[in-house]
Structure 1
Amino acid sequence: MAACRPRAALLVLLAVCVACASGRLAAARPDSDLAAAAAAGPLVRLVGRFFPGDNGAGGALPQLFTWSGASASVAFEGATSVTVSFDGRMSSLPKEHEQTRAVKKDSTFPWGFFQFELDGVKVGVGEITASKPQLKWKLIVSPGPHVLTITKLSEARYGAAWLQSIALPAGGRFLPPPPSPGMLSGRGMLFLGDSFTAGWGNTEGRSCKGADAHNMNTLLAYSGLTARHFNADAQILAWSGTGLLTYAKRYQTSWPQWKVEAAAPLGTQFLLRADALSPSSRYNLAAFQPQVVVLAMGTNDFLEKAGTRNNRAPPYGLPNLKAWTDGYLAVARELRRAYPSAAIINLVWPLEQLTAGVLTREQATKYQQWMAAAFARLQFAGVGNVHLLQLSGAGLDSRSWCGAHPDVAAHALLAPQLESFVRGILPSWK
């Protein structure tokens, strides 16, 4: 209905963020001016993976935000303000999140950033931290109608939070969930990747002291940019340090298996998860059938000190070509079973990007050769509708990068290459 279509806000007077270190927020015990609206909570439109998720008609709150790039939208009218409450206390999160917290060995977990857009315009960013894990965010608005969209900018391994409630004062009312971009365009994309896909370190320059939750934005990574360009609903399943078939070097070989997997699960492991940080959670893969799957993994398999599930004793060396391409074929077949009609794009990163500090030239060259060999295996094995995209590094300037990872400008150069390639595969995606 017309009331659900985003339009520019007539008046935005004030945005206030209040973080609470202990005790429940007003969402659990509403103030009198929020009580009437809170009694009938909204249904939100979910894009990306959530727990518990929805049935396609809209999700009821609370919903657990773990995956970066995931968003929740709500439509409302007649209100002079809207208040959003998050709960990231460890006591409120699933027990399995304790495993990731134990691996990090620091006091920063959970840590997360959430962007707020009103009628398509960014109006603020909220933060939850280990010391202030609860957040109440309030925006003063005109009577509307309006659509508020909340997107998680930071990746799963830094922590999660419940979107606990969205409340309106007396006189406001929630409208049916607004249609998502993909519902209007009929387009869906799934990205399976590592730090390059998550956008790790992309919002801060070379002077950064290290990439972290505070200097990344998945919406400004090539993945988020491409999805928005096509007005596609997207699931961006990305985890820094993860390998496709091989565990990354910095996760100690003396660790028990649960700890290795909590630090950086393999892509085939978190592909199945609804909650990124809960290995036992399962997502119904049939619930989201994208037309495009971007497989952008494998870089971390070629780090000098990497160990496979069954061989984590040094020296590691480079992956065995036959074993690695056999494994890649198995992953591609798993994706094909899950997404029978999707175009699977095997994304290969440019040498200029890889050698900025992530891989040595030898490792980067082998990675590119192994990726080409893996693609040939897919073709010989008869895996249909698969494609290979070798990105160009022309114009990339790594001197401004944080932690040897592409910045926003670099992602803005990479995204159009993928967009052009997708249009070549799917001419209707103009």
Structure 2
Amino acid sequence: MNYKHLILCITLAVAGFSCSAQITVKANDPHIQYMGRVDLQDTAAVLSWSGTTVKINFEGTGINYKMRDERGDNFYNILLDGKIIKKEQVTTDGKFEHEITGLNAGKHTLELFKRTEWAMGKTWFYGFTIDKGGKVLPATPAHKHKIEYFGDSISCGYAAEDSTGQDRGTAPYEDGYISYATLTARHFNADFHNTSKSGIGITVSWFPLIMPEMYDRLDATDSTSKWNFSKYTPDLVVINLFQNDSWIVEKPNNPQFKARFGTTKPKPEFIINAYRNFVATVRSKYPKAHIICILGSMDATQTGSPWPGYIQKAVDGLNDKNIYTHFILYKNTPGHPNVKEQQAMADDLEAFVAKNMNW
């Protein structure tokens, strides 16, 4: 065998090995598409917010991915080619790997959707490995429309899958994928960010944090981690807040009432001004966005409630033709919206958006 022949054989052998080797796609690889506020670090992507998503297009018969959870409380919907194939709880040991095999040869899309909010902690995603013979494909182009939500448990899908009537908001029963927020985004084929947390309000929450103090975080669990608003500019912002305020302002013995208001219930002017200031802050971040200030479908919109009126007065005071109000009727059932009630909210919001934004 002459020298040239030897070199040719080695070259072919290396080429053959390369074609058959597994392909590692690290978390910071541009072929991976993220949705939501994701903290992209050197070795991992940190997911905290409800609805944050990891997506990859690939060709091949199998793929696996590696993740680690902060507390083991987060659940993910695993979608293959647009269909949910599994609900998955991520472990804390750093050895969590899941392999999807036996796929038909050809092009596929895999998505990891965070069902649970940051009250359950955060998750580290380390990357994908595509099986031998496969290849990574270009990321899907961004959708035409972009939405951002600022909300509470209703937007998070709290207890949406608890069919027992116990209204349990623990991880197995929360599903942001079937919240009105995600349903509306999917209806319009829109990218979305869900900047929400159960129990939060604008003037007071069930814990020592209000939305004006949380809205600008990148890592939701870290008060020092700040989001760069230039990275994502929504066409539409939906604010669904005040449900929690409406309860706590009536509870003078609540620790958060005392911390925020002392011994005196806040007057309507204070509530209206706080809402107006938050909407003005959002407007300052997104000068060209349409903003819809909604409320519902829990008891803050029941007959006789003053809270829709507070929102209306706050918005009227901003004198901005691209800021709207829309109030979703009280569902008149106990607990948080279930699957059917979340869909009804989505139908309502979708009709309003279609009419006012011509989507």
- TM-score when scaled to structure 2? 0.85
Instruction: Please state if 1:136 is matched with 2:97.
Output: yes
Instruction: Please state if 1:67 is matched with 2:16.
Output: no
Cα distance change on mapping 1:61 and 1:170 into 2, 3 Å: farther
Aligned amino acid, residue 277 of structure 1: T
Q: Tell me, in whole angstroms, the C-alpha distance in 2 between the residues paired with 1:142 and 1:245.
A: 53
- The residue aligned with 2:9 is none
User: Following superposition of structure 1 onto structure 2, how do residues 373-388 of structure 1 map, counting pairs within 5 Å?
Assistant: 373-388=310-325
Q: Tell me, in whole angstroms, the C-alpha distance in 2 between the residues paired with 1:134 and 1:321.
A: 52
Aligned amino acid, residue 87 of structure 1: R
Structure 2 residue corresponding to 1:87, chosen from 68, 71, 74: 68
Deviation at 1:52, TM superposition (A): 2.1
User: Following superposition of structure 1 onto structure 2, how do residues 327-346 of structure 1 map, counting pairs within 5 Å?
Assistant: 327-346=274-293
Deviation at 1:200, TM superposition (A): 0.2
- The residue aligned with 1:163 is 125
Question: Is the contact between residue 202 and residue 210 of structure 2 (CA under 8 Å) also seen in structure 1?
Answer: yes
Q: Could you say what secondary structure the match of 2:160 adopts?
A: coil
Deviation at 1:86, TM superposition (A): 0.4
Structure 1 residue corresponding to 2:200, chosen from 231, 242, 260: 242
Question: Is the contact between residue 45 and residue 74 of structure 1 (CA under 8 Å) also seen in structure 2?
Answer: yes
* CA deviation profile, 1:141-196 (whole Å, cap 9, x unmatched): 2222111111101111111111112101222211121224x2xxx10111100001
- The residue aligned with 2:260 is 311
Aligned amino acid, residue 382 of structure 1: N
Deviation at 1:211, TM superposition (A): 2.0
Q: Could you say what secondary structure the match of 1:51 adopts?
A: strand
Q: Tell me, in whole angstroms, the C-alpha distance in 1 between the residues paired with 2:197 and 2:107.
A: 37
Q: Tell me, in whole angstroms, the C-alpha distance in 1 between the residues paired with 2:151 and 2:273.
A: 19
Cα distance change on mapping 1:40 and 1:47 into 2, 3 Å: closer
* CA deviation profile, 1:334-372 (whole Å, cap 9, x unmatched): 01111111111111214xx32xxxx7x9xx667x42432
Structure 1 residue corresponding to 2:40, chosen from 45, 52, 70: 52
Q: Tell me, in whole angstroms, the C-alpha distance in 2 between the residues paired with 1:300 and 1:316.
A: 18
Equivalent residues, number: 333
Question: Is the contact between residue 115 and residue 153 of structure 1 (CA under 8 Å) also seen in structure 2?
Answer: yes
Cα distance change on mapping 1:245 and 1:209 into 2, 3 Å: closer
Question: Is the contact between residue 246 and residue 309 of structure 1 (CA under 8 Å) also seen in structure 2?
Answer: no
Aligned amino acid, residue 80 of structure 1: T
Q: Tell me, in whole angstroms, the C-alpha distance in 2 between the residues paired with 1:122 and 1:381.
A: 42
Q: Tell me, in whole angstroms, the C-alpha distance in 2 between the residues paired with 1:308 and 1:136.
A: 44
* CA deviation profile, 1:185-210 (whole Å, cap 9, x unmatched): x1011110000110100011235473
Q: Tell me, in whole angstroms, the C-alpha distance in 2 between the residues paired with 1:175 and 1:164.
A: 18
- The residue aligned with 1:412 is 343
User: Structure 1: where are the runs of 5+ without partners?
Assistant: 1-32, 54-59, 91-108, 252-259
Deviation at 1:124, TM superposition (A): 1.4
Structure 1 residue corresponding to 2:233, chosen from 289, 298, 312: 289
Aligned amino acid, residue 383 of structure 1: D
- The residue aligned with 1:115 is 77
Q: Tell me, in whole angstroms, the C-alpha distance in 2 between the residues paired with 1:226 and 1:331.
A: 23
Cα distance change on mapping 1:365 and 1:281 into 2, 3 Å: farther
- The residue aligned with 1:18 is none
Question: Is the contact between residue 391 and residue 414 of structure 1 (CA under 8 Å) also seen in structure 2?
Answer: yes
Deviation at 1:69, TM superposition (A): 1.0
Cα distance change on mapping 1:207 and 1:296 into 2, 3 Å: closer
Question: Is the contact between residue 116 and residue 176 of structure 2 (CA under 8 Å) also seen in structure 1?
Answer: yes
Aligned amino acid, residue 154 of structure 1: T
User: Structure 2: where are the runs of 5+ without partners?
Assistant: 1-18
Q: Could you say what secondary structure the match of 1:274 adopts?
A: coil
Deviation at 1:309, TM superposition (A): 8.7
The root-mean-square deviation of aligned C-alpha atoms, in Å, is: 2.6
- TM-score when scaled to structure 1? 0.72
Question: Is the contact between residue 271 and residue 310 of structure 2 (CA under 8 Å) also seen in structure 1?
Answer: no
Q: Could you say what secondary structure the match of 1:114 adopts?
A: strand
Question: Is the contact between residue 115 and residue 176 of structure 2 (CA under 8 Å) also seen in structure 1?
Answer: yes
Question: Is the contact between residue 78 and residue 87 of structure 2 (CA under 8 Å) also seen in structure 1?
Answer: yes
